[in-house]
Chain A
């Protein structure tokens, strides 16, 4: 049976502002979405996948991005060149969008129910009572518990996943023909992500909606898509059914992207033999809030964590946001002061050191952060950033500079670029520079706090390989914080699973992956998107 075509994009081209590095944000993009179908647009950052979605909604920033050629038809109606008034009518009614950031996509000062009500008021002639019934009905459909309470709640009273459900409810309340999801699960935890994906799929089946789903994650693609469109630098490189693209990718770029997705298959265990570098005993961190006039409350971010990292070993801490994994890392790096316990680095206890005594030990523990764009001072050349550490510890500028060049070469950045500023490098290059900055002090322990989470998969794979090399060549002890099980499986020798400040399970990666004991660990594994696909196996 032929299904009605909902969206048809033909030879779309969108022009970038003059100063950009290429002429078109997207060029010659043709795709279509049929009723009851989920089409995933996959690509790395800068591939033009979001621009395509925004073009359909007519939400491109005016004056900066202008569609210059092609056509976009929604149920046969041309959208390019349509009057703003007509577009407003169509938005919400015939097409709707769910955005990436559920924290900012909702108006913080309006109750959730009223925000959905606004859509109904603008597009329908229902009276108050009918609208209220519809709101409660749609909230129940997105599986929010106690719709009455949720409708009366302000966004900040809800969790990220709940907010995203509200967004989806708002998008679907008028039963649009087309739903556009722009990375709707990227900002969410894996377990929440799995629920939201299930929800999108379920609602789409129930209502026969056509879904255009933008993502960078092939795991999500495997989980949800009927058809896949792969984009690179503004062009479509390949499209086809999910089955075909994932098992028989034709284009080298698609193959590279799929290969770069880490497997859930854990790495073979390492023979032990390194000396103990770091151990913590009953590490505690409690945040005190409140003050002179208010009664204080205490938040236990970390509760009695014991861990151990040997030389030449990568130990992973896996957990969702709020699990306390980053707090552990920051306590060990002494960016914050632990409230209790011991942080033993070889012979010294760093936990309660202060001032000068602490500064002496600083160089022994170095940390790499998540956001490569904010980890380097934008006003200083990377050379100046690199030699800051050695100069703090009494090296001459010349000696430090020589070392910096050598290390830049080691991490795969052109040493001649040492006088450039951070904005002249890509995200992956910046992360390499951050790694070089950490290594230049010859630390005994390297902490990677979500160090690859902000990177595209292909770049992520390269940085992970670099970390491997560092571990092998320098015999460093590495503490690897991540929320991503695939990444953990690839690089970690042992993992700790954290939840609400506690370690719920620990052991060699292979063992934990083969037979997770704690129910929470099992839940995490079940939530990993696309776990049924053996991604890297494909490569061979």
Chain B
């Protein structure tokens, strides 16, 4: 829709250097996560107490269910229970990306609806925004701790705990756009043409929020990936039997000085992912919202 107003916008976004680099890194990480079972022959939970804490490049033989022996190279070494780190890091990418994406979608969707209403229906604005202010005052880690205590650790709990504090930021953004667009003469013209309010919102106001929302969405995504890792690292996120980068690092923490690879590799991947998402966000902001780019 917006491509009609500014032709070639999508192409301009895709042509931006940091969007290309960030997108490429992200694509590789996503593919690694999706095709993890095909890339690594091992189960991420498979443990072999005889080869604990081996350095990257160590080779071992594994007895397969059909009775044959398979020689595998532990490219990133093994952890303190003898599990293959490479496999675990691959599977960890899944959790990170799922959390990042889901949180972004939930926060943007909720924020969009609340923001549209708060911005357009003036008498609801005050009440809505004060609730949002309240939500913003809750530290995400504290909220996660409370929710885990209530519902038990799990993916859903983490997603909800991370998404809630992000919603107000999206609401504020959408509300600001709505407040400026509702004064546009074409919106007033639509009012005097008898267009019902829901239609005005979806037809005339909503399209203006798309570009800033995409940009904000990437930032939410990056921060969600990071917060999930922090929560898991602290032991209040995803249960320890699921391999996530935070969990892997938490387990590697004790022997960090002797075997740094247990923390190094998931850490590097985490940093790369967050960097890639942010690069995409910055690139999109440059092309979709040039005004903001100049200000920062």
Report A's interface with B, CB cutoff 8 A: 333-335, 359, 362-363, 365-367, 369-371, 374-380, 385, 388-389, 392-393, 421, 423, 434, 437, 441
Contacts and interface: CB of A to CB of B under 8 A. Distances in A.
Contacts of B195: 388-389, 392
B4 A392 contact: no
B193 A437 contact: yes
A421 B1 CA distance: 12
Contacts of A334: 192
Contact of B193 (A370, A378, A392): A392
Given A377-B204, A379-B2, A369 B188 contact: yes
Contact of B196 (A359, A367, A369, A377): A359
Contacts of A389: 193-195
B221 to A, nearest CB: 26
Interface string B172-204: 000000000000111011111111100000011
Contacts of A423: 5
Contacts of B4: 379, 421
A359 B188 CA distance: 13
Nearest to A441: B193
Chain B contact residues, majority secondary structure: helix
B27 to A, nearest CB: 30
A302 B192 CA distance: 21
A366 B191 CA distance: 10
Contacts of A434: 189
Given A365-B192, A441-B193, 4 more contacts: A335-B188, A335-B192, A377-B186, A441-B194
Contacts of A385: 186
Contacts of B260: none
Chain A contact residues, majority secondary structure: loop
A374 B185 contact: yes
B192 A376 contact: no
Counting chain A CB atoms within 10 Å of each CB, the highest count among B1, B5, B185, B193 belongs to B193
Contacts, number: 63
Contacts of A359: 194, 196
Given A379-B207, A421-B4, A369 B194 contact: no
A388 B193 contact: yes
A423 B185 CA distance: 16
A365 B191 CA distance: 11
Contacts of B184: 374
Contacts of A375: 185-186, 189
Contacts of B193: 362-363, 366, 388-389, 392, 437, 441
**Complex A-B, nearest 8 residue pairs according to Cβ-Cβ distance, in ascending order:** A389-B193, A362-B194, A369-B185, A375-B185, A392-B194, A377-B186, A378-B5, A379-B5
Nearest to A388: B193
Counting chain A CB atoms within 10 Å of each CB, the highest count among B184, B188, B192, B194 belongs to B192
Interface string B202-237: 011001000000000000000000000000000000
Contacts of A333: 192
A70 B190 CA distance: 50
B192 A421 contact: no
A384 to B, nearest CB: 9
A389 B186 CA distance: 12
A376 B193 CA distance: 13
A149 to B, nearest CB: 34
B56 to A, nearest CB: 51
11 contacts: A359-B194, A362-B193, A367-B189, A369-B188, A371-B185, A377-B204, A379-B1, A379-B2, A379-B207, A434-B189, A441-B194
Nearest to A335: B188
A174 to B, nearest CB: 32
Contacts of A362: 191-194
Nearest to B187: A377
B203 to A, nearest CB: 8
A437 B194 CA distance: 12
Contacts of A437: 189, 193
Nearest to B208: A379
Counting chain B CB atoms within 10 Å of each CB, the highest count among A377, A385, A434 belongs to A377
Contact of A363 (B188, B194, B196): B194
B188 A367 contact: yes
Nearest to B1: A379
Given A371-B185, A379-B2, A379-B5, A393 B194 contact: yes
A392 B185 contact: no
